[in-house]
Structure 1
Amino acid sequence: MAPVPNGTYAITRPGEQLLTMEGGMSEPKTPVVLLPPTGNPGEQEWQVEELGNGNCTIRNLRSDTYLSFDGEPEMNKPVVGYPEPREWALYQSAQPHTFHIVVPGGPVDGEELALDLSLLRIFPPRTALRPLEVDNQRQAWTFQFME
């Protein structure tokens, strides 16, 4: 049973911040950022598709690129849009419909890596792979089903 049924979602953080693929161009390696609602169709809408192994892919509707990163997972690696699908594991957090988006396959250098905000202090805030903190609600993402 998938934690999130297949479908289209807004993936959010508290404070009306949405996972966003800006620009709408399918340029590979466009940074995935966190923004308030932009009103641009599709750039904050994500298609979640479950795979047979329980992991999922997360694809941006507007750019038709997948939530991904370049090469092997490493701490602080930027999360970007990629034409090829990338698998993610969703770990249920303490809140309903809220999950940690985790690189599957176990620890890298002793840490599991999850989608989180980059340490770069730039606007708009970028996303990157950061050490998973299962008890940190601020690191979890809410999946809001879109009709």
Structure 2
Amino acid sequence: MIFDLPKLVFEAALKLMRLQGLTPQQAVARAKQQFPGASGLDTKELERKLEAEAAKDAAKNKTGAAAGTAVPVTAGHYAIRRSDEEYLTLQNGDRTAGTPTVVFAPAGNPAQRWELKVLEAAAGTTTCTLRNLAGGSFLGYEEEPDADVLTGGFPEPVTWALSPGPDARRFTIAVPGADLHLGISLMRAYPPRTGLKESDGQDTAEWELEAL
């Protein structure tokens, strides 16, 4: 059987670029590692094709956003906000396990920047992890997921499910398989703490992803 090695590398690189937010060059380098004999492959043409695909994807996303349709969530760095004055923040950017997550006015620092890694995307829902760029910890919770459990930064990744709401720019950040989503805790604190909330049939698409 004859294999079209450049085609195999291109298809693998395209998947990596879309799911993990890699550049064409990074995606090709990673894809070449998957195929014996690809180390000496001239990849300039593959990188040009990937750049063209990336441009097409960006155009589709822009068109979808303008039309009010759901835009696919892609891997990358984001600020996550509820409003212009409420950004999801790892308090003080502290890497200590259990450091609270809060909503705070935009400060433009790494404590308000999150790395989104896509795990799976299907049927309008994207499962992912969210890692803070200041503390390096993951958005999560210490106890079993339940209503009013507080969220914070933890060393082990926790899976979240993102799904768009009626306003395609806003998303529900939910616990997969449970009727729980990320919201504002009832705890009296400043800045306000975030925690898990029951949906109760309400619109839970509270969060907007702001690509950095």
- Quick check: which one's helix share is greater? 2
Larger mean CA deviation between 74-83 and 50-59 belongs to 50-59
CA distance in 2, matches of 1:19, 1:34: 5
In structure 2, how many angstroms separate the alpha carbons of the residues matched to 1:122 and 1:52? 35
Match of residue 100 from structure 1:
172
- Between the aligned partners of 1:133 and 1:7, the Cα distance in structure 2 is 31
Structure 1, gaps ≥5 residues long: 107-111
Give the SS at the match of 1:8. strand
Q: Is residue 141 from structure 1 mapped to residue 207 from structure 2 by the alignment? A: yes
Q: Does 1:12 align with 2:81?
A: yes
The alpha-carbon deviation at position 96 of structure 1 amounts to 2.4
Corresponding residue of 1:131: 198
Equivalent residue, structure 2, for 1:109: none
The 3-state SS of whatever aligns with 1:43 is helix
Paired residues of 2:143 and 2:149 also in contact (CA < 8 A) = no
How many residues of Structure 1 are paired with residues of Structure 2 in the alignment? Answer: 139
Percent of aligned positions that are identical: 36
Deviation at 1:135, TM superposition (A): 4.0
TM-fit CA distance, 1:86: 0.1
Superposition RMSD on alpha carbons, in Å?
Answer: 1.9
User: CA 1:142 to 1:134, structure 2 compared with 1: closer, same or farther past 3 Å?
Assistant: farther
Superposition deviation, residue 94 in structure 1 = 1.3
CA distance in 2: counterparts of 1:115 and 1:127, whole angstroms: 7
Deviation of the 1:133 alpha carbon: 5.0
More displaced 10-residue stretch of structure 1: 73-82 or 97-106: 97-106
Stretches of structure 2 lacking an aligned partner (at least 5 in a row): 1-17, 20-71
Q: Which runs of 4+ in 1 moved over 6 A?
A: none
TM-score (structure 1 length as normaliser): 0.86
Instruction: Give the Å deviation of 1:25.
Output: 2.3
Q: Distance in 1 between matches of 2:184 and 2:166?
A: 20
Which one of 125, 133, 136 corresponds to residue 64 of structure 1? 136
